[in-house]
Amino acid sequence: MREMVLFDVDGGDFNLCDWADKKRQAYVQSKVQEDNGDLTALDKAHFLRYRFEQDKSTSEYLEQWDTDELQDVCEGLAEATGDDTYLKMLGVDTSLLEFTED
């Protein structure tokens, strides 16, 4: 987990890193460039989130990556964080979610 930059302990405090953390994003981007196939679904979600926020295309990556596992992770992230951006970047119509929630 340390190598994947999923957390930091700056100042003695344990902090989880999110997609926007610079060190986490550097790790993920280097893994994508290596194209060695050992990206986790979370790595892919963080990479796609960065591209989405930068208004860069995500379609080529969505076409080549297993979208079922990736969609499961993004749905979990959206639910855990309350941030529907994880669904929007996959092309999920989030306007319909308003009607299905309690």
How do the pLDDT tens digits run along the chain, 102 residues long?
Answer: 667 777 777 777 777 778 888 988 999 999 998 876 688 999 999 999 999 999 999 888 998 887 789 999 999 999 999 999 999 998 887 665 554 554
Give this prediction's pTM: 0.81
The residue range of the domain holding 80 is 23-29+40-95
Residue 10 located in a structural domain: no
* DSSP helix/strand/coil, 39: coil
Q: Are 16 and 6 in contact (CB under 8 A)?
A: yes
Q: Are 77 and 86 in contact (CB under 8 A)?
A: yes
Residue 56 located in a structural domain: yes
Residue 48 located in a structural domain: yes
Residue 70 located in a structural domain: yes
What is the reported pLDDT for 96? 59
Structure-derived torsion over alpha carbons of residues 61, 65, 68, 74, reported in degrees to the nearest 10: -50
Residue 17 located in a structural domain: no
Residue 6 located in a structural domain: no
Residue 82 located in a structural domain: yes
Residue 4 located in a structural domain: no
What is the reported pLDDT for 20? 87
Task: Count how many domains the chain has.
Answer: 1
